Amino acid sequence: MVFSSALSSSSSSFTLPSPLRTHYLSTTLTTRSSTFPNHKFIKTRMQAQTTNNAAKPKEAKLWGGRFEEGVTDAVERFTESVSYDKQLYKHDIRGSIAHASMLAKQGLISVSDRDSIIEGLGEIEKRIESGEFNWRADREDVHMNIEAALTDLIGEPAKKLHTSRSRNDQVVTDLRLWCRDAIDKILASIKQLQVSLLKLALNNQGLIVPGYTHLQRAQPVLLQHLLLAYVEEIERDAGRLIDCRARMNFCPLGACALAGTGLPIDRFMTSDALGFTAPMRNSIDAVSDRDFLLEFLSANAITAVHLSRLGEEWVLWASEEFGFITPSDSVSTGSSIMPQKKNPDPMELVRGKSARVIGGLVTLLTLCKGLPHAYNRDLQEDKEPVFDSVRTILGMLEVSSEFAMNITFNRERIQKALPAGYLDATTLADYLVKKGVPFRTSHDIAGKSVALCTSKNCQLLDLSLDELRSINPVFDKDVYEFLGVENAIQKFISYGSTGSACVADQLDYWMKKLEIK
């Protein structure tokens, strides 16, 4: 044992008292021999296995023709990527099928070889999806695992598949295909959250809530208007993803390592087969740049920030201090020590997980900064931030939608909270403007009216006409049509405002766009 060895070492600065030391050593030896009676046998077996493993020759690398010795185990472990990039298998197989079909059409492989390759790739995909495929770290990545397995399966024809292709253009093709599918999934999740928010708005018609700026009471707004603000924000998030998808939808396959190939391939054929808009024009650009990933993760980061704001607002509103919403038990958690607690944990985690998505973007930006053209092995590190960003943003969208469908707005509590903060003060200023008073003067008069209310501990609606005229004689009895949050809401008429008619138009627009009846 390390500890007992240290105790017996003459260089040790710590020594147990002799009786305790004797007891410790005798107990340790007794325990060891009783617990592991065959430890000598086990040790011998392990040494034999190590010797056998060391004697067993490693599989030759598919790129190892000029090498006389294999890489060390440490290098093998450090450089492998199959542990995470194996999730690209569908896209890798799809790209290989398109590539093999093109090679056959161009006469670079036979039709028989093409059919064997496609049949073999189909079998490998079945094995992967059934869990029977053996992913091997010594085969480095998803591409080499599939190609080596194909060689094991069909033999010589598999060795022709990599004609006019490098892992440099292969991996970036796989990534573009994977990201394209990921964007489609995120877009579907964004729409689902929009639908949930819109339904929440429809179920709370006419509910007025305080609107805040600087986290201070500002003006009254319809709850529907506030919820639709989030619908609008994530619609722009969807737009960014759609634009990103269009820009990334160009095919790198056939760019090879960096310079293209001297063989007569048809890059337009593979591009069409894979659903790309066109082949990428420049082979160096095709394998070098990851700006499509940077744009994708940037779009995800902005979406995450929007969701974190929604999370923050609902966490605040669920607090005792606000008490505006009550989440159902199905989207809440409790405390391990405080039995009374009911926490909106999902939205706290939405707020927190935004950091992961932002961090993934920063990681990728840092990775790409200063890289010379063309491909560099650094780019192997581009995948994990992308995979994590997508996984996280999909989870955030899903739980936000789930939360939206499982909260109740506390109308009575909100109603009681509305009088505080003089939310109708700006509407009072608008009234004065309609009477011909310059806005700056109107602002000053409304401010003095609020000051009077503060001294009297009352609302603007409670001031008598005489009290208002003592501040300025322009006031008339029609002023009361502008005071109180209900009246104030009705006075908003500008396009996009929180007025009832304007919000009704917004609701109608989104019901049609999201196809809600």
Domain ranges of the chain: 78-163, 168-416, 418-514
Instruction: Report the 10 Å Cβ neighbour count for 6.
Output: 12
| Chain centre to alpha carbon of residue 243 | 17
Instruction: Report the 10 Å Cβ neighbour count for 69.
Output: 7
Kindly report, residue by residue over 307-353, the tens digit of the pLDDT.
999 999 999 999 999 999 999 988 888 888 988 888 889 999 999 99
Give ∠ CA 133-136-139 in degrees, rounded to 5.
Answer: 120
Percent helix / strand / coil, the chain, rounded to 5: 65, 5, 30
Does the domain spanning 78-163 belong to CATH 1.10.275.10? yes
At 40 the pLDDT is 45
Single-letter residue type at 508: D
Q: Which fold has domain 418-514?
A: Ribonucleotide Reductase Protein R1; domain 1 (1.10.40)
At 334 the pLDDT is 86
At 8 the pLDDT is 41
Q: Which of 8, 335, 373, 470 is catalytic?
A: 335
Q: Which fold has domain 168-416?
A: Fumarase C; Chain A, domain 2 (1.20.200)
Q: Which of 18, 34, 214, 336 is catalytic?
A: 214
Q: What are the Cα distances from residue 100, in Å, to 112, 157, 251, 264, 267?
A: 11, 10, 16, 14, 12
Position of tokens 């008069």? 445
Contact, 302 vs 254, CB < 8 A?
A: no
Of 437, 416, 444, 429, the C-alpha closest to 488 is 429
Q: Is the peptide bond before 158 cis (omega within 30 degrees of 0)?
A: no
- Distance separating alpha carbons of residues 325 and 406, to the nearest angstrom: 10
- Distance separating alpha carbons of residues 220 and 203, to the nearest angstrom: 19
Q: What is the pTM of this model?
A: 0.85
Residues of the chain with pLDDT under 70: 1-58, 60-69
Q: At what angle do helices 383-404 and 167-202 cross, to 10 degrees?
A: 10
At 50 the pLDDT is 39
Query: Is-catalytic flag, 335?
Result: yes
Give ∠ CA 261-263-269 in degrees, rounded to 5.
Answer: 90
